[in-house]
Structure 1
Amino acid sequence: MARKSVKLIVAGGFGTGKTTFVGSVSEISPLTTEENITEASVGVDDIRGIEGKRSTTVALDFGRITITDDIVLYLFGTPGQDRFWFMWDELSQGAIGAVVLVDTRRLDASFPAIDYFEQRQIPFVAAVNKFYGECPYDEDEIRNALKLRQDAPLMWCDARDRDSSAVTLIRLVEHAMAQLPVETWSTV
């Protein structure tokens, strides 16, 4: 039997935890394209609420999870800043779904990612990254603020925790499989 590859995207705004998420769950040392934030980004990158952030993804993050001998998940983390969004179309090509990480300190940073996947009809789950184990809002408040459709899964995760990230990916795959036509399952 041929090995099947499943491509998943980890997206979200600048500083939502995408690199951390991919790194926490990947079975290999993830490929990252992190660079130090420099003075050149002043006035370009919005760091309100994440003033302590020292590095950022400038291309992509990549990780892998082997599910069985014949099924492998490939994770592609997108860069979060507006100036790198031109890469999203290439990274999303062939993906069955996406995790959109949400930081409740900066909800507006999640709007473009949610819009991106809704417009392209790519299944996604919105995952509130519980920085420091906290989230001051309930599900209805977050759903309303993000204008999430009722059929879009919303969940809580901790991008630093392997199990939490894995549960998020499981929910994404379940959601994507429910959205995909049955005849495409064997090619995923």
Structure 2
Amino acid sequence: MDYASSEHAPGRTWDHTADHADTAPLAVKILIAGGFGVGKTTLVGSVSEVAPLHTEEYLTRASVGVDDLEGLNSKFTTTVALDFGRITISAELVVYLFGTPGQERFWFMWNDLVNGAMGAVVLVDTRRLESSFASIDFFESRGIPFVVGVNCFHGVRDRTTEEIRAALALDPQVPLVLCDARDRTDSRDVLLALVEHLMTSQSTTSL
């Protein structure tokens, strides 16, 4: 196997930083947050170009009385650390997705996961809107731009966007998108809504 020589040509100075500056893509970190069982792992998996990293464990009797399983009869696993996925937009831009754990006992991890994040998607389930209040409060308190993705389980849309926005007490500037987290196109559209929101927020800040 041939290897590039480490010998430098006479009279030439190598600047490895300069060599890689034009080829290294810009990395953008986005968090996928929300309550327990709203579809964060599903969204990351549906849109990631690589097999997503999951840190899921089966629910056990130890979670009884600790995790709120109301309305989640078919939920057998839970994210105990994070979900991770990647989307290459172009040679210049790569998006990294970090799905946060939803249970209250793992919220302490959010403070680490949020470091370096450009923005976030907060997924909500209209059957349990209150489960995503903490995520919304978290990003609002830190001034991190976010959009709300309403995961319409089984295609059910039992509330209007106006009703959902009012129930979540969302700022009028926060985008709200209806989606099916299982669908790649829907998940992509939620992320595009966040990108547009980030661009708008940046433009407003620079004025």
Q: TM-score range by the shorter chain?
A: over 0.9
- 1:82-161 to 2 correspondences below 5 Å: 82-161=104-183
Question: Unaligned 5+ residue runs, structure 2?
Answer: 1-21
| Alignment of 1:41 onto 2:63 | yes
Deviates more, 1:23-32 or 1:89-98: 89-98
Tell me how far 1:70 sits from its aligned partner: 1.5
Task: Name the aligned partner's letter for residue 38 of structure 1.
Answer: T
Secondary structure at the aligned position of 1:180 is classed as helix
Instruction: Normalising by structure 1, report the TM-score.
Output: 0.95
Q: CA–CA distance in 1 between the matches of 2:49 and 2:42?
A: 13
User: How many angstroms apart in 1 are the aligned matches of 2:202 and 2:62?
Assistant: 43
Look up the equivalent residue of 1:148 and give its one-letter code.
Answer: L
CA–CA separation in structure 1 for the residues paired with 2:203 and 2:141: 19
Matched, 1:76 2:98: yes
- C-alpha displacement at 1:177, in angstroms? 2.0
Q: 1:176 is matched with which residue? A: 198
Aligned to 1:27: 49
- Provide the aligned length of Structure 1 versus Structure 2: 184
> For residues 33 and 98 of structure 1, what CA distance do their matches in structure 2 show?
20
Higher relative contact order (CA 8 A, sep 6+): 1
- Alpha carbons of structure 1 residues 89 and 40: separation in structure 2 relative to 1, 3 Å: same
Cα distance per residue 1:122-159 (max 9 Å; x no partner): 00001100100111000111011100110111110110
User: TM-score, structure 2 length as denominator?
Assistant: 0.86
1:70-124 per-position Cα deviation (integer Å, ceiling 9, x unaligned): 2100000000000101111111111111000000010100100110111101000
Structure 2 CA distance for aligned equivalents of residues 182 and 6 of structure 1: 20
Q: CA distance change for structure 1 residues 81 and 143 in 2, over 3 Å: closer, same or farther?
A: same
**Alignment partner, residue 80 of structure 2:** 58
Structure 1 unaligned segments of length 5 or more: list them.
none
Q: Which amino acid aligns with 1:106?
A: R
Name the counterpart of 1:12.
34
Q: In the aligned structure 2, how far is the partner of 1:87 from the partner of 1:79? A: 8
**Alignment RMSD (CA, Å):** 1.4
Q: Which amino acid is the alignment partner of residue 136 of structure 2?
A: I
